[in-house]
Chain A
Amino acid sequence: MPSIAESLAKKQKEISVSEFFERNRQILGFDSPTKALIMAVKEAVDNSLDACEEAGYLPDIKVRLEKVDQNEFKMTVEDNGPGIIPNMIPNVFGRLLFGSRFHAIRQSRGQQGIGISATVMYGQITTGKPTRVMSKTEKDKPAAVKEIMLNTKTNSPSIVSEDFVMWDEKEHGTKVELFLTGRYVAGKQSVLEYLRQVAIVNPHTSITFIDPDGKTFIYTRATDKLPPVTKEIRPHPEGVELGTLMNMGRASRTRNLRDFLKTDFSRVSERLAKEICERSGLSETAKTTNLSLEQYKKLLEALQSVKYLPPQTDCISPIGEALIRKGLKNVLDETKPEFYSPPVSRAAKVYSGNPFQVEVGIVYGGNLPADQQVTLLRFANRVPLLYQQGACVLTKAVENVDWRRYGLEQRGGSGIPFGPAIILVHLASTKVPFTSEAKEAVASIPEIQVEIELALRECGRRLKVHLNKKETKARTRTKFEIVQEILPMIAKKSAKIVGRPVPKLSGSITKIMNVVWVDDSVVFEKKRHKSRIIIYNYTPHSTRFNLHAVVPSGFLDSESMDPKPIEIKEDGKVTWELRPIKSTDTLEVKFDLVGLDQELYEENELYASGIDPTLIIGADPLPGDWDVQRLQVTEVAAPEVATVEEEEDEVDYDESKEALSDD
């Protein structure tokens, strides 16, 4: 009689990765028919984008979904990437965990080499049909066409058919066609929304999408600049784990421990390598292939006891403030937003030895719905995250900011705010810490959360500055209407009734307004941003003060400046010493910016000094750190529009709320 253990052992056998994922497809994100369709498009598009960017081509991507029957769709994704050499096609599409990027430390969309082959597998499981791949690598060569299926037992591809065809319309590129079960929907979690968001954070990409009804959506590229190619870096010693360290040590081709530390890690100098060896009590010349577990533990301890420079950041590719704005504008202009808050791109930081960088943008107003939660667009390495919003650190950071200070509604000062806004958060990293293989949410890493919150606050402040400006302007404008239009008519009519000449208005005007109003406008024409600032002195007295502006340095046309400023600093801070302006008089200040893209500059950032800040509207008081550094916008509430105190405290007849209530 075989023992129980023996009979159990007969049943125990290796499960291939493919088999494992076949049974646990939710791990890869294929848990519902709706989601499966989005995932399939996502995996194919991610691959195409990575391939195009690596090869230095501006991506041109076509996605088409066709309905085969009630539940079955045919997906076609076509790119203009470098193509895949025929021999490699089966492995790329028909084998899980086959990829070029798993071992590389740098930012890319795909990492593990699971996505597209998992999609092939899903299609094959649900429809029984193979995936057809057509790829062309050189202009004058024919394209290879292969039909592939995936053997889940052995995790290896099997080729159903192969051929070569002419593909004349393209010099190079890849086209994937596969069949899968799915459900096509519209809305916040849909293929269209996914592609729309891809277009936002990849403004260098053109996307054409044909939906199952044959309707075509085109997102044309907003820039011809490819994101810089990211460099591969070696691991940073901070936060390296024991297992990884051992694997690296055993696989290392270096001669000894000191060289291993110096060569296989980044930011470890000769001096540091020696110090680490000393601290670990190991010989500099020890062979890393021979070290014991205990010795590796000591080495790890030593590694983590010294200070390193932060990792290089050229391994990550942020979108950049200018391009975030371009991308948002390119896709969202149909909602006619009132304001694109200047996006914030933070400096790169590190978590557990992995460099990362956070970027944030806010779009406000226009046709965006005001009575709903703001729309949150989450991205990791330029890939939209549509699912698991609640479990994601990007969301948590948004919820953790008190948005009431920045002009949005928020119950109790936490949670997703309400208001007509879209908030974009992008996390770029060599290793995005996703909560699962489906790559739907980013795990709660404190360092990352802190960075996102800082970026959100900075962007929020920029929004608030705009809203303050708008509000004071609106309030001032109504007064402006009184003194410019209504009061003159009252004067004229009363003069007519009493039969006397029209009285002078200046006294009444200055009493009604009693402010200096800085009216600023920026017009873009002939490739110039033309700024015209008109200062109205509506106070009863003559006034003089200094006006300050912050403009993008290097774009100022000093010829155009009238009057001439007394100072232009290198960082773009400009100061005018204005001549005195008489009561009810005006003064105009003009300057042009040359060579700046239109959408990069919308309104002037104006400050005033040498004047009672409550007397001036349209320019904020000069911040205390004006001379110190790049301006941090101070968080002061906009000054109330100053009004002359009533001589007697009389009720406003026309605003007594208690109406005539007889019926």
Chain B
Amino acid sequence: MTEEGKEAVQKLYEIAESIYDQIDSGKIPKMSIPLRTKSNIRFDPKHSVWKYGNASGARSAKKTQGALMLLRTMYVMELIEDMIKEKKSSTLREMYYISEGWEKGKFHSQDESNNLAEDLEVVTGLMREDFKLRPEENGASVIGDLTIEEQDRKGKVKRINCLEDVGDSGYGIPYNVEKDKVKILSTNADFIIAIETGGMFDRLVENGFPEDSNAVLVHLKGQPARSTRRFIKRLNEEVHLPVVVFTDGDPWSFRIFASVAYGAIKTAHISEYLATPTSEFIGITASDIENYDLPTDKLTDRDIKALEAEQKDPRFVDEFWRGEIELMLKLGKKAEQQALAKYGLDYVTDKYLPDKLTEVGVLK
């Protein structure tokens, strides 16, 4: 067993032992877990990202849901230990299906099993890779003048230029982007632009934006996967590319930016690995809706609730976000990235982005 393997097994053993001892001494078994809520995230000045605070909650067998999660924890720990011993790994989705055989401990949704894996990370301070659990390939794409080296599954090292060596859909980011897997060699680009939607990603590619503006395009595919955020973070740190984020103009997109720049609530325990604090948001903002007179949709009740929740989210307390969230609530409207097509297909690359990039100082 590897050193990491031993450490993981040891940490899981300690959790099981604590549960065992509590039952043995006649207590209601429980487990303390840092609360993974927006009211329990604190700014970490050292890394300039948001991390969990000190508040914790109890997962206790007193209530059915807590008891079931404890039972599942036992099953998951047993599974992880077996995988470490047998040098196997499984996807999170596979774990969800494996639980079919766990009787009462069966997961009711994959969210439940994903959350439990994260809980274990938070409690042990290890990463899910240490537990031999991995996400599905998510295939977020990159296009831009960037050269990397990737070791494929068969151990073969491939050098790839993400502009010259890829097709229209770009380089697919693997789920593991750590240095043993992906090496960042060099780049001629000036900045990274992370894009929420596939439609806009394609528009920029078709308009020749990566070449003309020396940009690395990263498709976020909605709320970005860990590997996508980690990849952006590494590019930012290792080859010093500034990062801008370009999304739809709605409350959910604001959260996407927060995940990239500040750290997501779900993964705040590893924000320093995933978040890029110097990222800049370049729209669509609520002000853009007014300034560019964009076609809009009405905010739904869910949208409004999401905006109101953001007003209480410590990550959005600065003046810029307060103003934008308030304005959006006042307008009662949201807009998609592609609404810019109102002014023609080239408008986004000829006018909007140059304006915005100049504004944030990426274009001089």
Contact = CB atoms under 8 A, between A and B. Distances in A.
A491 B23 contact: yes
A512 B23 contact: no
Interface stretch (B61-69, B125-133, B236-244): B61-69
A662 B67 contact: no
B115 interface: yes
B252 interface: yes
Which of the listed residues A478, A489, A495, A511 has the most CB atoms from chain B within 10 Å of its own CB?
Answer: A489
Given A651-B58, A661-B38, A508 B13 contact: no
A580 to B, nearest CB: 21
B264 interface: yes
B104 A498 contact: no
Nearest to B25: A507
B26 A506 contact: yes
B203 interface: no
Interface stretch (A81-89, A113-121, A652-660): A652-660
Contacts of A498: 13, 16-17, 20
Contact of A652 (B27, B29, B63, B103): B63
A482 B56 CA distance: 23
Contacts of A336: none
Interface string B10-39: 001100110110111111110111011111
B71 A489 contact: yes
Interface residues of A, number: 39
Nearest to B102: A489
Contact of B71 (A493, A496, A503, A656): A493
A418 to B, nearest CB: 25
A481 B309 CA distance: 36
B26 A511 contact: yes
Contact of B61 (A486, A493, A662): A486
A490 B15 CA distance: 12
B77 interface: yes
Interface string B48-74: 000000011111111111111111001
Contact of B58 (A485, A504, A512, A652): A652
Interface string A639-652: 00001101000111
Contacts of A655: 63, 65-66
Which of the listed residues A493, A643, A650, A661 has the most CB atoms from chain B within 10 Å of its own CB?
Answer: A493
B190 to A, nearest CB: 30
Contacts of B69: 654
A153 to B, nearest CB: 70
A663 B223 contact: yes
Contacts, number: 149
A494 interface: yes
A497 interface: yes
A75 to B, nearest CB: 55
Contacts of B22: 508
A503 B23 contact: yes
A490 B28 contact: no
A660 B28 contact: no
B295 interface: no
B105 interface: yes
Contact of B35 (A490, A653, A663): A653
Nearest to B118: A660
B255 interface: yes
A339 B341 CA distance: 63
A663 B57 contact: no
Interface residues of B, number: 60
Nearest to A654: B65
B71 A490 contact: yes
Contacts of B81: 497
A663 B255 contact: yes
A507 B61 contact: no
Contacts of B223: 662-663
Nearest to A650: B58
A500 interface: yes
Interface string B116-145: 000000000000000000000000000000
B78 A497 contact: yes
Given A643-B62, A656-B37, A662 B266 contact: yes
Secondary structure at the B interface, as helix, strand, loop or mixed, is: helix
Contacts of A631: none
A504 B27 CA distance: 11
A487 B22 CA distance: 12
Nearest to B64: A478
B182 interface: no
Interface string A508-549: 100110000000000000000000000000000000000000
A460 B148 CA distance: 76
Contact of A661 (B27, B56, B78, B265): B265
B23 A496 contact: no
A504 B74 contact: no
B19 A490 contact: yes
B75 interface: yes
A3 to B, nearest CB: 80
Contacts of A185: none
B161 interface: no
B227 interface: no
A507 B35 contact: no
A505 interface: yes
A480 B104 CA distance: 14
Which of the listed residues B22, B39, B69, B252 has the most CB atoms from chain A within 10 Å of its own CB?
Answer: B22
Contacts of A656: 35, 37, 57
Nearest to A505: B23
B100 to A, nearest CB: 16
A478 B33 CA distance: 24
B32 A654 contact: no
Contacts of B56: 650-651, 653
Contacts of B259: 662
A508 B78 contact: no
Contacts of B33: 653
Contacts of B64: 478, 481-482, 486
A491 B27 CA distance: 12
B66 A652 contact: yes
A495 B20 contact: yes
A381 B103 CA distance: 58
A653 B57 contact: yes
B23 A650 contact: no
B222 interface: yes
A482 B67 contact: yes
Nearest to B70: A490
Interface string A465-505: 00000000000001001100111011101111110100111
Nearest to A485: B104
Nearest to B263: A662
Contacts of B12: 497
29 contacts: A478-B64, A486-B61, A486-B68, A486-B70, A487-B67, A489-B74, A489-B104, A490-B23, A493-B16, A493-B74, A496-B78, A497-B77, A498-B16, A504-B24, A505-B23, A507-B23, A507-B25, A507-B27, A508-B29, A511-B28, A644-B28, A650-B57, A651-B35, A651-B55, A653-B66, A654-B57, A654-B66, A662-B265, A663-B252
Given A653-B56, A653-B57, 20 more contacts: A482-B67, A486-B104, A487-B67, A490-B29, A491-B20, A491-B23, A494-B16, A505-B23, A507-B23, A512-B62, A650-B56, A651-B56, A653-B31, A653-B58, A654-B66, A654-B69, A655-B65, A660-B266, A663-B223, A663-B256
7 shortest A-B CB distances, which residue pairs?
Answer: A507-B26, A653-B57, A493-B74, A497-B16, A503-B24, A651-B57, A650-B58
Interface of B: 12-13, 16-17, 19-20, 22-29, 31-33, 35-39, 55-71, 74-75, 77-78, 81, 103-105, 115, 222-223, 252, 255-256, 258-259, 264-266, 306, 309
Interface of A: 478, 481-482, 485-487, 489-491, 493-498, 500, 503-508, 511-512, 643-644, 646, 650-656, 658, 660-663
